[in-house]
Amino acid sequence: MKHPVLIIASLLILAQSVSAAGIPEPRRMELLNLLKHDCGSCHGLSLKGGLGPPLTPTNLKGKPVDYLSATILYGRPGTPMPPWRPFLTDREAVWLAERIKEGVR
């Protein structure tokens, strides 16, 4: 029989792999790929700016995650920023906004 601490540790590791706001690891990898390639096509492959503004922690300082996730989901009318709502859930948009604010690529 496994030691209770090992069982708890195993459960925590399992929870973390499905966690990150309930997004499974394979989907998180897809989202990071979307960030790099799809967002990067306008915001620059390093997200330091291009057609769209830089998506760097410095440039996004003071902008709440909710604001950024709404921009991701609904786009910006009158600009080239498209809505990603057909492809992302609310939870996924928040997760992406948090990664962008952290500078995680």
- Which stretch of 15-19, 71-75, 91-95 has the lowest confidence by average pLDDT? 15-19
97 touches 68 (CB < 8 A): yes
CATH value of 24-102 in 3.30.9.10, 1.10.1060.10, 1.10.760.10, 1.10.10.10: 1.10.760.10
pLDDT in tens, 53-73: 999 999 999 999 999 999 999
Sequence ranges of the domains in the chain: 24-102
4: pLDDT strictly greater than 60: no
User: How far is CA 13 from each of CA 1, 9, 95, 102, rounded to the nearest angstrom?
Assistant: 19, 6, 19, 22
Number of C-beta neighbours around residue 31 at 10 A: 19
What band does 21 get if pLDDT is binned at 50, 70 and 90? low
- Going by pLDDT thresholds of 50, 70 and 90, the confidence category of residue 15 is very low
Tokens 């499905």 belong to 18
Which bin fits 3, alpha (ψ -120 to 50), beta or left (φ > 0)?
beta
What is the value of pTM for the model shown?
0.78
Q: Residue 11's pLDDT is what? A: 40
